[in-house]
Chains A and B, each alone.
Chain A
Amino acid sequence: MTELAEPVRPTDRAGATAPPWCDRCGGESATGGHAACAAARVLEPPRYCAHCRRRMKVQVLPVGWSAACVEHGEIRG
């Protein structure tokens, strides 16, 4: 899978097209508050694919990170 998806942050989910899953905790975006997840994500890479909830393979580097979902491709930050 080579598609490069845009990084999805919890704060993006207020919009109508927001992905269904929180990329930090893997919970449903629509249920429960994810403000704490959004705050934590400032100092964390995503761990779950926001499109399918799969756990991603995440590599943190001294500068930046990459996170790969087997279905939805890799995102970088």
Chain B
Amino acid sequence: MPEILDQARTQVLENGVGLDESGVLAVLNLPDEHLPAALQLAHEVRMRWCGPEVEVEGIVSLKTGGCPEDCHFCSQSGLFTSPVRSVWLDIPSLVEAAKQTAKTGATEFCIVAAVRGPDARLMKQMREGVAAIRAEVDIQVAASLGMLSQEQVDELVDMGVHRYNHNLETCRSYFPNVVTTHSWEERWETLRMVRESGMEVCCGGILGLGESVEQRAEFAAQLAELDPHEVPLNFLNPRPGTPLGDRPVVEGKDALRAIAAFRLAMPRTILRYAGGREITLGDLGTRDGLLGGINAVIVGNYLTTLGRPATADLDLLEDLKMPVKALSETL
């Protein structure tokens, strides 16, 4: 057994203290032969500190495309030659999407907009949309609207938004290679305000942007410092027309190593499968990740791409005897 896994068994599994950056790096550098042991340990950590429940979420794009920012992975930037056009979702369709999500057993419904930060029109749409959902659908509403002002944070709290997603995307040292129109520190400032407001913090990122293994470890350590309620873990799905459109996808074993390492860095967080798992891991890898530290999934489609049918994930959870977290446990 590699020394780092022995250390993690005592430190993380028994005492609930996450690995630091050097420990995460050691896990990320484990040879393939030790990957099953790392995943097994990460699964034990998840079961010990989070329990067997899996949190299920659906997401929808309220405002697609036309974003002024230049996040190099994103097909919704208006600065690239992506085929994605700008489109707004009307409120009846938003409510219907929430209903469809709730039918899967999901407890979370995240409303997302491709913006630098919300303007008055978007905040009005949010206020009306969240009120309509809360009147008709039994589901928790989360939001992801970019960078916020303090007034906007307060307004979202007032609407009843219980969790706010704002991904750091990658580690601080690599961020300028991915985004040039705003800084990592600006994102951190929004996260600080969200935390202080009492909303739950959802913050993760994307692996496979060209970062080194050392930078992946740096990212895990920075997320652990933030201590978010939820960490969505995406794997790059290279989008045509974006600066990262020709990058290779993350190799499956590297993705699983990262899942185990992030779980060992953050034993108590909700670690969610997000975009890209279908092409990086496929069906078998999806199962391996759920048995290697993942305890939440996005079901159904993503913002501009399609996911597996919700039933495929729900059947898998049933097969793995992992109960879907009930709404009563999230309130």
Residues on A facing B (Cβ under 8 Å): 25-26, 42-45, 47-48, 55-65
Q: Is the CB of B101 within 8 A of A43?
A: no
Chain B, 289-321, CB within 8 A of any chain A CB: 299-307, 310
Which residues of B have CB within 8 Å of A26?
83
Of B24-32, B55-63, B158-166, B220-228, which binds chain A? B55-63
Of B1-9, B84-92, B199-207, B252-260, which binds chain A? B84-92
Which residues of A have CB within 8 Å of B278?
43
Q: Is the CB of A25 within 8 A of B85?
A: no
Q: Is the CB of A62 within 8 A of B85?
A: no
Known contacts: A25-B240, A59-B87, A63-B100. The answer to whether A43 contacts B58 by CB under 8 A is no
Tally of chain B residues near chain A (CB < 8 A): 30
Known contacts: A47-B84, A57-B85. The answer to whether A62 contacts B300 by CB under 8 A is yes
Does residue B77 face the partner (Cβ distance < 8 Å to A)? no
Residues on B facing A (Cβ under 8 Å): 58-61, 64, 83-87, 89, 93, 96-97, 100-101, 104, 240, 278-279, 299-307, 310
14 pairs, CB–CB < 8 Å, chain A vs chain B: A44-B305, A48-B83, A55-B85, A58-B84, A58-B85, A59-B64, A59-B93, A60-B301, A60-B305, A61-B60, A62-B58, A62-B310, A63-B300, A63-B310
Residue in B closest to A54 when the chains form the complex, CB atoms = B85
Q: Is the CB of A60 within 8 A of B85?
A: no
Give the shortest distance, in Å, between A11 (CB) and chain B (any CB).
Answer: 16
Known contacts: A25-B240, A45-B306. The answer to whether A61 contacts B97 by CB under 8 A is yes
Give the shortest distance, in Å, between B10 (CB) and chain A (any CB).
Answer: 41
Known contacts: A43-B278, A63-B100, A63-B300. The answer to whether A58 contacts B305 by CB under 8 A is no
Q: Is the CB of B100 within 8 A of A43?
A: no
Q: How many A-B residue pairs have CB under 8 A?
A: 67
Q: Is the CB of B306 within 8 A of A44?
A: yes
Q: Is the CB of A65 within 8 A of B87?
A: no
- Given contacts A43-B279, A58-B87, A62-B97, 5 further A-B pairs with CB under 8 A are A57-B85, A60-B301, A62-B60, A63-B301, A65-B306
Q: Is the CB of B240 within 8 A of A60?
A: no
Which residues of A have CB within 8 Å of B101?
62
The CA-CA distance from A63 to B313 in the complex, in Å, is 14
Across the interface, B301 reaches (CB within 8 A) one of A42, A55, A56, A61, namely A61
Q: Is the CB of B306 within 8 A of A62?
A: no
The CA-CA distance from A4 to B235 in the complex, in Å, is 35
Which residues of A have CB within 8 Å of B61?
59-60
The CA-CA distance from A58 to B87 in the complex, in Å, is 7
The CA-CA distance from A44 to B302 in the complex, in Å, is 10
Q: Is the CB of A62 within 8 A of B305?
A: no
Across the interface, A60 reaches (CB within 8 A) one of B104, B302, B310, namely B302
Residue in A closest to B87 when the chains form the complex, CB atoms = A57
Q: Is the CB of A62 within 8 A of B303?
A: no
Give the shortest distance, in Å, between B221 (CB) and chain A (any CB).
Answer: 32
Which residues of B have CB within 8 Å of A47?
83-84
Residue with the greatest number of chain B CB neighbours at <10 A, chosen from A44, A61, A64:
A61
Which residues of B have CB within 8 Å of A64?
301
Which residues of A have CB within 8 Å of B87?
57-59
The CA-CA distance from A42 to B97 in the complex, in Å, is 21
The CA-CA distance from A55 to B291 in the complex, in Å, is 41
